[in-house]
Structure 1
Amino acid sequence: MPERNNEFGKYGARGIRGHEAVARRLDALAGFVATPVTARRGLLARLHYLTRSEHARQAARDAGLTVTDDTLKKWLRGRRNPSKRNLERIETAYRTVRRHNVARYLLARLNREGRGTRVEFHPLNQSQVDRPRQRAVEYRTLNVRRWDRIVEAWAEDDERALDDAWVSEAVVDLGSQWGQYEYVTNIGFAA
């Protein structure tokens, strides 16, 4: 695509890719358990979420948590503690299942029956860039009406698809200088 940055940060600009900022915001809207999985409370919250129904158990298995029911019971009762590798699997499975469960709800909130959601683009930080090399980039807002591909890519945790969806569904609508908003300090929206 035109205007893609190949050497971002070469002259000292700082920021993150726009789709990463969107993923962070969607994660915040998803409402993950705040307590870390290494704490007993965080572990129990995730295990209860992943084992509350047969559908949730199957989704956890599909997401990579393949331990026996007996082992799960021992973890829940506190008789055994998961290994570090299993803690990572629990966290990954929890986030995957939570994203899939919340995606439809978030999609309805963001699309708002075709009205869309107002998105704020906070430009990249150029404070470390020499004055002659700085771009004139300003704070912009845009109403994004098509969130389907964006939320689907986020729910699948597919970074490449999320980047493509974010650029094609939102950023190009900023006009001819959309490439200036490929990297940002923050993307803000409320749903």
Structure 2
Amino acid sequence: MPEHSHEFGKYGARGVKGSEAVSRVLDSLAGGIATPVTVRRGLMARLHYLTRTPHAWAAAREAGLTVTDRTVRAWLAGTRNPTAANLERIDRAYWTVRRHNVARHLLRRLNSAGGTRVELHPLNQSQVPRPRQRVVEYRALNVRRWDRIVEAWAAADAEALDGAWTDVIEDLGSQWGQYEYVTNVGFAA
């Protein structure tokens, strides 16, 4: 059984952790506000999303948006503008609440019909000297249980997501270590 890569990229290989690639795909499946928070339209959309229900507002506070209701009303009215630090907090709170809100729906879609087929695109070895290159090929597997992966993604827990993803790719057999880092992971729900 191979172990985790401790010195990834030492000989010039390029790629990202498979769990990071999975997180990016889940983010794109979750959708959300595309306009940046630094633009007035993006800021207003995020604030309306975070303040539309008491549950969303409580989740925003839990995610680190600790301003008074009066300040939020002033932002919404346009009489005051948030600082750069508060813009970052608003954006972080928005994505935290968004992930939490769509996690159950995404989980149902990914687990339906016996799971979801995932394509693993191997790491880029074009900069690795020829004698050190591995024979790594495109692989696909069917992930039947997404519970731990989606739960870790919704909580923004990178370590738990990496552990859950490693458990999934171990189904590739003795070659799973070659897919710890990839150029891309593709799936749809």
CA–CA separation in structure 2 for the residues paired with 1:58 and 1:171: 36
Partner of 1:175: 173
Displacement of 1:120 in angstroms is 0.3
> Secondary structure, in 3 states, of the residue corresponding to 2:12?
coil
Identity among equivalent positions (%) equals 74
Partner of 1:150: 149
> Secondary structure, in 3 states, of the residue corresponding to 1:176?
helix
**Aligned residue pairs: how many?**
189
Partner of 1:126: 125
CA–CA separation in structure 2 for the residues paired with 1:11 and 1:70: 55
CA–CA separation in structure 2 for the residues paired with 1:2 and 1:184: 16
Structure 2 residue ranges without an equivalent (≥5): none
Partner of 2:22: 22
CA–CA separation in structure 1 for the residues paired with 2:172 and 2:3: 13
* RMSD (CA atoms): 1.0
> Secondary structure, in 3 states, of the residue corresponding to 2:174?
coil
Post-superposition, which runs of at least 4 consecutive aligned residues in structure 1 deviate over 2 A? none
Displacement of 1:77 in angstroms is 1.1
TM-score with structure 2 setting the length: 0.98
Partner of 1:189: 187
CA–CA separation in structure 2 for the residues paired with 1:159 and 1:55: 25
The one-letter code sitting in structure 2 at the alignment partner of 1:171 is: I
The one-letter code sitting in structure 1 at the alignment partner of 2:62 is: D
CA–CA separation in structure 2 for the residues paired with 1:31 and 1:85: 24
Note the 1:1-191 alignment, pairs <5 A.
2-113=2-113, 115-168=114-167, 170-191=168-189
The one-letter code sitting in structure 2 at the alignment partner of 1:70 is: R
TM-score with structure 1 setting the length: 0.97
Structure 1 residue ranges without an equivalent (≥5): none
